[in-house]
Amino acid sequence: MSTRTLPLLFINLGGEMLYILDQRLRAQNIPADKAKKVMNDIITTMFNKKFLEELFKPQELYSKKALRTVFDRLAHASIMRLNQASMDKLYDLMTMAFKYQVLLCPRPKDILLVSFNHMDAIRDFVKDTPSILSQVDETNKQLVEIYTPLSGGEFQLIRQTLLIFFQDMHIRVSIFLKDKVQNSNGRFVLPTSGPVPYGTHAPGLMRMFSCSGEEVRRMQFRDGGNYNAALREGSFEMYGDRVIKLGTNMYSVSRPVETHMSGTSKNSSQHTKVNTTPNPLAKEELNLLARLMGGLEVQNPVGTDSGFRVNLFATDEEEEEALISRPDELSYEVINIQATKDKQTNAELAKIMGEFGETGEPSPSSSSKGDDLLAMMDGL
Amino acid sequence: MAKMYHKEKSIPIKSSASALYNNLSVLRIAPRCLTYFTVVHANVVNMVSASWDGLNYSHRQLQSKEGNVTTSSSLIMQAAWCVLPSRDLLVLTSQKGIQMYESDGSIMVYWHALDTPETPTAKAVFARGIAAVRDKYICVGVSSGSVLVFDVPSKGSNITLSEVLEEHKEAITDMASECSGSLEGIADLVSADDSGLLCVWKSGEDFQLLNKIPGFDTSCSSVKLWKGTVIAGYGTGQIRLYEAITGILHAEVNAHARWIYTLDIAPFTGLLLSAAEDSWVRVWHLSLTPETNSVEIEHMYNECVTDTQICGAKFCDGDGYAFAVTGYDLSEIIRYTQA
């Protein structure tokens, strides 16, 4: 549908990823200089000029699987490593957070304000590093230029495209459950009270007009909700008060990152079924993906000393348990594309890379497909 | 206030509804006491045929398989039944084009490809807005603002594109034909777009533009035409009633707290259904006073479908005795009948 959706999806998911990593780096007492390096490296990669040029070209959205591949690579753009269970959890948290923001944003156009909230926070992460800051600012300028002229209808199409992307994902997130914005079945709570979107009147008033245009009668109806007047409109400029809070950092030391890993199995399994049907597009999409990711420069840990692993779980045991107990229908079946060099330096990664391919298919054919893609990526 | 409607047993669907305007279509098959429903899920259309009590049902799914198989299967924007005097057709609109099926979804009788660019452009390409007009026309809107008029023979697949109406500058959102069954009215068709512009048409060998009702910078997501009155629902949650021919505004209602997704009218009783992202379904009553040439709207009923952004709502019969609702991420059709 909307060919303008991918940049917003990438920037908002990326923003959520940075919030989570920032919180985990603190929680695991990673030395400040290393933590800083990780954040800076990932943000540098995210806002790489060549990569963004590809990203901002009008195009259809990628499949969930393909996008997950992009974020796998992005998360490993520095000296930090995540194992599969942690990466799964990270991606679950990112996607459910952005799904919530898309669903709850008052007007379709407010998706842009959500994006600006993420951009503002990213800018704050790199405020001490002018070279990266200018990269981020450049993207921000592009967002303003491309998106502010769009009509409400075009934003609605973007929103509808995003909602199709997130359709049938019902992973429960503890921070949402605690805040009572998500139900135990994984569906989000939609309030029927509070301020209406900017430009909308609280329901209730009915006005009748005569043929000459004069108002002849006014009535009120009982709307059943408890709405009040809209807040002022957030700023769509480079800098300003966005007014809405969706897309700001919801994690803190006292509100750590946690997930409950359970889909509402019925829908998720249906969805997986749809995803595993042979897709003639797969190759076409892989090509696009390779082109897009050609811009993603990945730094490799020089030695084993400087690299470190971040865990999205409280303990290693928990992480291991999560990997084993993860329901099949929640498997992302990730396409592992890592620079070939990684193979030599990181045994664990090499092991994961060996797992490339679609589940249930014999591995030889799929791994050769993976090698082709690797070669393509290296050639870029 | 006594409850006007009560909830019945839901009808499950094979895959959940996508957030698309007017994402529910209903066809009543009176001789067999059946109701057909369609709900769009991404690139699939869920079809359900259900007995009137909703207790027995069977499913069918249509894929948007179109053109050659090497291209990707495209997302569907809308599915709707078109009832012509001679035949009923199921019409699907997507990013690639327009498909017309026999009403049971068994045979595709016509395929119209949209002009899609080699590489995607900033403006998305799709068809949206479907209406059957008078004896033999099916009109479909396009993202460029064009309205395509198809001439449909009483049987067979010799459907032809007879005319392209170029009055809209923005993407078409919805279209509706006069639903009262009265042939007295002059206006046959109304088309709406993303800028809120409404065009009122008279059908014929050449469709004639009768009136243009300007928008106010907000999308008109759903529109109906009943006894010469245009009923329009907007992104601001407002419903407006206009006289089709003159464009006179009769009424304006602050009806919903968020974007309206669908409207429907029960032509025999003048009951109006509206539903929105705010999870509310509301029932209204319209009455015409021919002497004073005025239209009145009265609020009748509210139903909150908890935690659901509603994308489709339709009456199941011409009196508005029952209605059905779909919502984003919901794998069921929720039904309500009068108490």
The structural domains of chain A, with segments of one domain joined by +, span 6-191+233-379
Provide the pLDDT for residue A343.
38
- Cβ contacts of residue A349 below 8 Å, gap of 6+? A76, A81, A338, A342, A343
pLDDT tens digits, A21-31? 999 998 888 99
For residues B332 and B339, give the distance between their C-alpha atoms in angstroms, rounded to a whole number. 22
- The first and second tokens of residue A341, run together, are 């060099």
- pLDDT for residue A357 is more than 80: no
Using pLDDT thresholds of 50, 70 and 90, give the confidence band for residue A286: low
Record: contact A208-B296, CB cut-off 8 A: yes
The H-or-E segment that residue A274 falls in is: helix A265-276
Position B277 pLDDT exceeds 90 = yes
Arithmetic mean of pLDDT, B285-310: 92
Per-residue pLDDT, A269: 35
Chain B residues in contact with A203 by the CB 8 A cut-off are 237, 254-257, 278, 280
Would you say residue B311 has pLDDT above 70? yes
Provide the number of CB pairs (under 8 Å) joining chain A to chain B.
171
Mean pLDDT on A109-116: 98
ipTM: 0.96
Q: Of A255-264, B142-151, B224-233, B262-271, where does mean pLDDT reach its minimum? A: A255-264
Q: By mean pLDDT, which of B73-77, B99-103, B222-226 is the weakest?
A: B73-77
Q: How far is CA A358 from the centre of its chain?
A: 23
Gyration radius from chain A CA atoms? 22
pLDDT value at residue A363: 32
Measured between beta carbons, which residues in chain B are less than 8 angstroms from residue A189? 307
SS (H, E, C) A302-350: CCCCCCEECCCCCCHHHHHHHHHHCCHHHCCCCCCCCCHHHHHHCHHHH
Which residues in chain A have Cβ-Cβ distances shorter than 8 Å to B221? 156
C-alpha distance from residue A354 to each of A72, A309, A338, B109 (Å): 15, 20, 11, 48
Chain B residue whose CA is closest to A168: B329
B257 vs A189: CB contact, 8 Å cut-off?
no
Buried b (16+ CB within 10 A) or exposed e, A36-51: bbbbbbbbbbbbbeeb
Helix (H) or strand (E) holding A193: strand A193-195
What residues of A are in contact with residue B235 (Cβ under 8 Å)? 107-108, 152-153, 156
Q: Where residue A275 falls among pLDDT bands split at 50, 70, 90?
A: very low
Q: How far apart are CA B312 and CA B330, in angstroms?
A: 11
How close A26 gets to chain B, by Cα (Å)? 35
Judged by CB atoms closer than 8 Å, whether chains meet at A153 and B173 is answered as yes
Q: Is 2.130.10.10 the CATH classification of the domain at B5-338? A: yes
C-beta atoms of B18 and A163 within 8 A: yes
When pLDDT is cut at 50, 70 and 90, the band that residue A337 belongs to is very low
Mind listing the pLDDT tens digit for each residue in A77-104? Answer: 889 999 888 999 999 999 999 999 999 9
pLDDT of residue A73: 87
Q: Which single residue is written with the structure tokens 């490296």?
A: A41
Smallest CA–CA distance, residue A202 to chain B, in Å, is 6
- Please judge whether A107 and B259 are an interchain contact, meaning their C-beta atoms are less than 8 angstroms apart: yes
Percentage of chain B surpassing pLDDT 70? 97
pLDDT at residue A312, as a whole number: 84
pLDDT digits (tens, 9 = 90+) for A170-208: 999 888 998 999 999 999 999 999 999 999 999 999 999
pLDDT digit string, tens, across residues A312-324: 887 788 888 887 7
| CA–CA dist B264, A357 (Å, integer) | 48
How far are the Cα atoms of A333, A344, B17, B96 from residue A328, in angstroms, in the given order? Answer: 10, 30, 24, 33
Task: Quick: pLDDT tens for A117-166.
Answer: 999 999 999 999 999 999 999 999 999 999 999 999 999 999 999 999 99
Comparing CB atoms, the residue among B71, B236, B304 nearest residue A200 is B236
Question: Considering only CB atoms, which chain B residues are within 8 Å of A152?
Answer: 194, 217-219, 235
Q: Which of A80-84, A117-121, A376-380, B133-137 has the lowest mean pLDDT?
A: A376-380
Q: What is the pLDDT of residue B116?
A: 87
User: What is d(CA B202, CA B245) in angstroms, rounded to the nearest whole number?
Assistant: 10
- Shortest CA distance to B82 belongs to which of B161, B179, B10, B165? B179
More confident residue, A323 or A277: A323
**Do B181 and B225 form a contact (C-beta atoms < 8 A)?**
no
Confidence of residue B182 (pLDDT cuts 50, 70, 90): confident
**Whose CA is closest to B42, among A97, A59, A168, A334?**
A168
How, if at all, do strands B25-29 and B249-254 pair?
A: unpaired
Please name which of A356, A358, A380 lies closest in space to residue A293, comparing C-alpha atoms. Answer: A380
What is the nearest CA distance from A4 to chain B, expressed in angstroms? 7
Residue A196, pLDDT score: 97
Pair of tokens at residue A30: 């990673």
Q: Do A225 and B257 touch (CB under 8 A)?
A: yes
d(CA A287, CA A281): 10
Mean pLDDT of A359-364: 33
Helix or strand run (H / E) with residue A217: strand A215-220
SS3 A218: strand
**Secondary structure (H, E, C), chain B:** CCCCEEECCCEECCCCECCCCCCCEEEEEHHHCEEEEEEEECCEEEEEEEECCCCCEEEEEEECCCCCCCCCCCCEEEEEEEECCCCEEEEEEECCEEEEEECCCCCEEEEEECCCCCCCCCCCCCEEEEEEECCCEEEEEECCCCEEEEECCCCCCCCEEEEEECCCCCCEEEEEEECCCCCCCCCCEEEEECCCCEEEEECCCCCEEEEEECCCCCCEEEEEEECCEEEEEECCCEEEEEECCCCCEEEEEECCCCCEEEEEEECCCCEEEEEECCCEEEEEEEEEECCCCEEEEEEEEEEECCCCCEEEEEECCCCCCEEEEEEECCCEEEEEEEC
Distance from CA of B179 to the nearest CA of A (A): 23
Test the A interface: residue of B254, B277, B332 with most A CBs within 10 Å: B254
Averaged over B141-152, what is the pLDDT? 98
What is the residue-wise DSSP string for A20-70? Answer: HHHHHHHHTT--HHHHHHHHHHHHHHHT-HHHHHHHHS--PPPPHHHHHHH
